Amino acid sequence: MLLLIPGPVQTDPRVRAAMAEDIAPWDDEFRAEYAAMRPRIVAIAGGDAADHASLPLPGCGHMVIEAAIRTFVPAGKTLLVVRNGGYSDRLVRMATEAGRLVVTLDGPDNAPMPAARLAEALAQNPDVGHVALVVSETGSGIVNDPNVLGPVIAAAGKRMICDAVSGFGALPFAMRDHPECDVVVFTSNKCLEGMPGFGFAVARIDSLVAAKGNAGSWVLDLADVYDHALKNGFGSFRFTPAVQALRAFGVAMDLYDAEGGQPARYARYRRNADVLYAGLKGLGFTPYVTPEHQGPIIVNVHQPADPAWDFGRFQVALKKRGVVVSNFWTTAAPTMRIGCIGAINEADIRFALAQMEAVLAEMGIGQRAAA
Ligand SMILES: *Cc1c(COP(=O)(O)O)cnc(C)c1O
């Protein structure tokens, strides 16, 4: 089966094979294996060992995002959320339910937030301490580039929190170039092409130390994750981890390095996205995002206007032909999102396009442009 979803992604068989063993997480050999992974994770984030730490948490990405908000935004302090997509709505909800004050900077979900609008919003909201943004919006495929927005945040004397989950490892970003960035959050199972089961934060050590006591939660306290590592070693765990997923993640990082790291991964995904974008247009679909705003992680098209169109039927028929796409959407308008990430290449994208063409013909969908 070919997964064209924005996570959990298609994996290399060597990554999956690494799961096939029982492991005691506290075993000395495994502790060493895990401890060796942590500086590699900092390196992928473009961090420096002296200034940045990797903070793994078993579970999904949202758990680590909530942990990052709780850890770095003290209760009663104001977080500005750059809101231009379905995943940024989730940041608002997590911060609000954690009792943080939230203001939003709203924009359309088919374009990145302009730097000038963020500068204006920060000037109007002096109470804001942190800005949270979704880097690659998995709903639409746009990218809010922290290399563009970070300097605006720095100039205003504020701190940045990045939900980098869907693009981390592929989109260029280096923590060391962004002292305003307290934390980036990502998972094992998107552009790093590991198995689901782990989320990660890479954070500034000085900010972590200053954040002690903020979280209002033991389980979701990244400062406590760091403290525990200092006291018990960087190969230790607070609670039972998804240990096989972690071992598989080590193999996934080996493959990442062997491919050529971030530039190589970006190039492969960019090619996938370009071929997919052109191919979907060729089939008659209307892209949700214009070419200049189209990121390399997912491509999104409007659902066809044809009265015979039935998204559920299309998705199931495509799956019967070996291709899985998401059977839901998180954009303002009804769309279909297709992932360009994972252990896939241009040939896989071309195969998927051919299957889509066949299913559209079977279903008799002539009017494929947006309603
Ligand atoms: C995948 C994703 C997450 C995390 O999703 P989980 O299901 O919690 O792992 C968060 N933000 C973005 C932008 C994502 O793409």
Whichever domain contains 90, its CATH number is 3.40.640.10
Q: What is the pLDDT of residues 225-251, one digit of tens each?
A: 999 999 999 999 999 999 999 999 999
Residue 85 Cβ inside 6 Å of ligand 1? The answer reads no
pTM above 0.85, yes or no: yes
| Residue 103 falls inside a structural domain | yes
Are residues 188 and 281 both part of a single domain? Answer: no
Are residues 226 and 298 both part of a single domain? Answer: no
| Residue 161 falls inside a structural domain | yes
| Residue 1 falls inside a structural domain | no
Are residues 205 and 269 both part of a single domain? Answer: no
Q: What is the pLDDT of residues 277-318, one digit of tens each?
A: 999 999 999 999 999 999 999 999 999 999 999 999 999 999
Say how many Å lie between the CA of residue 65 and the centre of ligand 1. 9
Are residues 181 and 149 both part of a single domain? Answer: yes
| Residue 59 falls inside a structural domain | yes
Cα–Cα distances (Å) from 327 to 5, 324, 330, in that order, read: 10, 9, 11
| Residue 102 falls inside a structural domain | yes
Ligand 1 pocket test, pick from 3, 66, 136, 138 with the greatest ligand atom count within 8 Å of Cβ, gives: 138
Are residues 217 and 265 both part of a single domain? Answer: no
Q: Give the model's pLDDT for residue 371.
A: 80
Separation CA 93–CA 124 (nearest Å) = 22
| Residue 287 falls inside a structural domain | yes
How many domains in the chain?
A: 2
Please say whether the beta carbons of 194 and 252 come within 8 A.
yes
Cα angle: 134, vertex 182, 299; to 5 degrees = 20
Per-residue burial over 238-269, b if 16 or more Cβ lie within 10 Å, else e, is beebbbbbbbbbbbbbebbeeeeebeebbebb
Domain span including residue 279? 261-368
| Residue 5 falls inside a structural domain | no
Are residues 146 and 38 both part of a single domain? Answer: yes
| Residue 7 falls inside a structural domain | no
Are residues 273 and 192 both part of a single domain? Answer: no
Separation CA 133–CA 83 (nearest Å) = 8
Q: Which residues contact 135 (CB under 8 A, 6 or more apart)?
A: 143, 144, 145, 146, 162, 163, 164, 166, 167, 168, 171, 173
What is the widest separation between alpha-carbon atoms in the chain? 64
- Residue 57 in tokens: 């948490």
